[in-house]
Amino acid sequence: MSVPANLIDGRAIAAQIQSELAARIADLRKRGVVSGLAFVRVGEDPASKVYVGRKEKACAELGIVSETHVLHEQTTENELLALVTRLNGAGHLHGILVQAPLPRQIRESVIYSSVSPAKDVDGFHPVNVGKLMLGDATGFRPCTPAGVVELLQRSGVKTEGAEVVVLGRGNIVGKPMAAMLCQKGRAANSTVTICHSATRDIKSHCLRADIIVAAMGVAEFLKADMVRPGVVVMDVGVNRVPDLTSKTGTKLVGDVDFQQIQPIAGKITPNPGGVGPMTIAMLLQNTVRAAEQSIG
């Protein structure tokens, strides 16, 4: 079966980035630096175990040394803060990733703010968030929206002057996505509209868009009658829905009704195989850059 020409292959583009990173990692080793990344997982959330496992595998394949710290579900906020403090001071580690979600007794904002900005390869520390808003390239950008920008750029999508609709206003994707695309600079210079649960007539906004980034967390929210022919669609969503044909009784779908929209889109990311691999690639890129910055 032939692959539709309008598909943006996130796996292939992620592989390109990792190939580029391999040369930088080799150069660091020549200088006596081995890139190191720490993962922290609290509890036994099945999805978190899968996500961390994929990131561990990617690190091993690229030559980044990783270590994973697993804490029990009843871990207190102070106990987690103590671990992060130790990791902040570990010279062999250049990046720290605390996997979400965290148990209810732990405030994510407090934990993210405790990670050293120089090791915040997730891009969640207020210092890095502020740098993003100011257009300061020395900060670390959140991995998923940064991956979307790379997909657009490497797929030849023109963003300058484009009308972009971001569906979702979350701190992890929606807000930083809008901030990145409206900046002055390459793969940016867009006119951005953020739509959310209180937006009136989301359809009218989407029909005006040249590019739509769907990150609402609502299964197959974006339908064919909400987009115009030739639109570029980036599907960030990960939603589990019932599927009687599956052994597990469920399946994963995005925020985009792919079957309806793919035939009329100019370009579109599949799900899976679109934005997901790029999130990991950008995490690796941030880690390598953190290692480079550690030696000036």
Tokens describing residue 207: 């029909």
Question: Which letter does DSSP use for residue 118 in this model?
Answer: G
Annotated catalytic residue 55: yes
Annotated catalytic residue 225: no
Given 18, 120, 122, 183, the catalytic residue? 122
Asked if residue 152 lies in contact with residue 144, where contact means CB atoms within 8 angstroms, the answer is no
Q: What angle do CA 288, 135, 178 make, to 5 degrees?
A: 95
Round to whole Å and give the CA distance between 96 and 235: 27
Tell how far CA 81 is from the center of its chain: 24
Q: Which amino acid is at 35?
A: S
Q: Name which of 32, 49, 31 is nearest 40 in CA terms.
A: 49
Tell how far CA 283 is from the center of its chain: 8
Given 55, 119, 175, 267, the catalytic residue? 55
Round to whole Å and give the CA distance between 270 and 258: 7
Annotated catalytic residue 120: no
Which residues carry out catalysis? 55, 99, 122
